[in-house]
Each structure stands twice: as C-alpha cells, then as structure tokens.
C-alpha cells in the first residue's frame, strides 16, 4: 500500500506517465504477435495527448498498458514516479479506480441500471468505498451528472438515453472518483456529429478547468488537431510525436 499512497501524494508532478522500451507480445497459438515493439514516451500532468495510427498499430494495447488494464511484456512503466509493472492485480485495480477514468467507444454501461447508479458504482468499489455513506455516494454521483448536463436524466436507463447522453453518463462515471487521468478510446466513434461535439466540449472543459491529463485514442484528425500533442503509432512503434507548437511553425511536421 505504500506505493499506492505515493501515487496519490505525487499527483500533479511534471511527468505523470513515463514509458521506457515498452513491449507487448501476445501468444496466438504458435504465433507471436508483437503489439508494441519498444515504446518510449513521457506525458506531463495536465497534458492533452491524442494517439493516432492505423488499425493494428498498437493504439489499444498502449491504452490498456497506460491505463493499468494490462502489463507489458518488457520495459518500464512509471506512474507519478512509481513503477507499476510489478504491482499485483489488486494494487492495479486500486490505481485504476483512484488515478484513472476510462471512456470507451461502446459506452460500457449496464443495461438495467439507472444513470445515477452507473455513476455511483466506482465509489462503491473504491478503496474507501465501505466508508463512504450512501448519501455521499449519491451526492457525488449527482454532481458528476450535473457536470455533464444530465442531472435531469439521473433515473433513466441506457435504453432511455441517446447515444450522446450515454457517453456523457460514461464521462460522469469516469469523473466521480476525481481521477488525475482520463483515457478516452474513440469517444465520439459511435455518435453523430452533434452528439460528438457535445462530448468533446465536456472533455475540453475538463481539461481546461480541472487540468486533467487527457489521452484520446482517435482516428478523427479534427479531434487530434485540438490536442497539445499528437503521437502516431505504426506497427507497435512511435513513428511521430509532435506538439501543436511544432505543427504551427512554418514547414513544421514533427518527428
């Protein structure tokens, strides 16, 4: 638990994410699939980063490793200065619950559960969940729904909500534990342009006002163009890492 306490105490440091020579290999029968082949990068606290690349480039694998959903085969991953690659499954679960919020393309909502209860779930299963009174869990969940403009939909189930509203519930669920990092995997991929813009405006506001570290995996060049930095993957390697400042220079293309 000392490492987990240090993760909490170091939140807000200059480099929240440090990857060095990260490799991930999957065994598919007799075939080895090298999803990542030696990724080295650092992401600062409060930075907005877009991750781009063709299908099979390693984007989702990278997201899973940064989000502590999977472990690398080789290399070092330090979160707020703490090596997380050697943590147990239980320790990783605590890190995910307290440090990282997830937003997925498919929303990942429970079909028979109200928006309010969806958002309350992370608090129930948090490290301190047993000590958080039900009334406080409800209050915090309602504040998260208010932040995404859905307080009036708190009792609605996913089938009673539009796609954009479902994604906003997912964002509220990601926010309710006050994470340092939000990771969004194609957050507008299942939405029409209007709903997608509403979701992006919420993410912009969170980044601007709360200084949340925002990592968005996307194929949408318009979304990536808003990020402070764009990382391009190809065949499990970083082939481009460009800041918007570099792009804005005459002839700037980054490397």
**pLDDT tens-digit profile of 110-137?**
999 999 999 999 998 776 666 789 999 9
Strand ranges, E, within the chain: 15-28, 31-44, 48-52, 74-79, 82-83, 100-104, 181-185, 213-217, 229-234, 237-243
Query: What is the pLDDT, as a whole number, of residue 90?
Result: 87
Query: What is the pLDDT, as a whole number, of residue 3?
Result: 46
Residue 32 belongs to a domain: yes
Structure tokens belonging to residue 198: 């509403």
Residue 148 belongs to a domain: yes
Residue 40 belongs to a domain: yes
Q: Looking at per-residue confidence, does 187 or 14 come out higher?
A: 187
Query: What is the pLDDT, as a whole number, of residue 15?
Result: 82
Closest of 112, 118, 163, 162 to residue 142, by C-alpha:
118
Residue 254 belongs to a domain: no
Residue 56 belongs to a domain: yes
The yes-or-no verdict on residue 102 having pLDDT over 80 is yes
Q: Looking at per-residue confidence, does 245 or 96 come out higher?
A: 96
The yes-or-no verdict on residue 150 having pLDDT over 50 is yes
Q: What is the mean pLDDT of the segment spanning 198-217?
A: 95
The reported pTM is 0.87
Query: What is the pLDDT, as a whole number, of residue 132?
Result: 86
Query: What is the pLDDT, as a whole number, of residue 247?
Result: 63
Residue 107 belongs to a domain: yes
Tell me the chain's radius of gyration from C-alpha atoms. Answer: 18
Q: What is the mean pLDDT of the chain?
A: 89
Q: What is the CATH number of the domain that holds 222?
A: 3.40.50.300
Structure tokens belonging to residue 121: 């779930």
Query: What is the pLDDT, as a whole number, of residue 11?
Result: 43
The yes-or-no verdict on residue 214 having pLDDT over 80 is yes
240, burial (CB in 10 Å: exposed 0-12, middle 13-18, buried 19+)? middle
The yes-or-no verdict on residue 254 having pLDDT over 80 is no
Query: What is the pLDDT, as a whole number, of residue 1?
Result: 47
- Give residue 26's domain range: 2-248
| Cα atoms found within 13 Å of the Cα of residue 155, Cβ hemisphere only | 1
Residue 255 belongs to a domain: no
Provide the number of structural domains found in the chain.
1
Contact 172, 149 (CB under 8 A): no
């Amino acid at each position: 638990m000392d490492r987990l306490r240090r993760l909490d105490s170091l939140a807000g440091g200059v480099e929240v994410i440090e990857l060095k020579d990260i490799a991930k290999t999957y065994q598919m029968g007799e075939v080895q699939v090298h999803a990542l082949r030696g990724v080295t990068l650092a992401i600062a606290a409060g930075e907005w980063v877009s991750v781009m690349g063709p299908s099979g480039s390693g984007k989702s694998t990278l997201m899973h490793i940064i989000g502590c959903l999977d472990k690398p085969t080789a290399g070092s991953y330090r979160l707020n200065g703490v090596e997380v690659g050697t943590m147990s499954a239980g320790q990783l679960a605590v890190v995910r619950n307290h440090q990282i919020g997830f937003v997925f393309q498919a929303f990942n909502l429970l079909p028979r559960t109200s928006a309010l209860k969806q958002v309350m779930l992370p608090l129930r299963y948090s490290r301190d969940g047993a000590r958080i009174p039900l009334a406080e869990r409800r209050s915090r969940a309602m504040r998260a729904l208010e932040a995404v403009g859905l307080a009036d939909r708190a009792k609605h189930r996913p089938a009673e909500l539009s796609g954009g509203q479902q994604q906003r519930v997912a964002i509220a669920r990601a926010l309710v534990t006050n994470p340092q990092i939000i990771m969004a995997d194609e957050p507008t991929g299942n939405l029409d342009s209007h709903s997608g813009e509403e979701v992006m405006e919420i993410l912009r506001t969170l980044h601007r006002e709360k200084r949340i570290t925002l990592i968005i995996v996307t194929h949408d060049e318009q979304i990536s163009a808003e990020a402070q930095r764009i990382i391009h993957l190809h065949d499990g390697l970083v082939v481009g890492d460009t800041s918007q400042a570099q792009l804005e220079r005459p002839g700037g293309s980054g490397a």
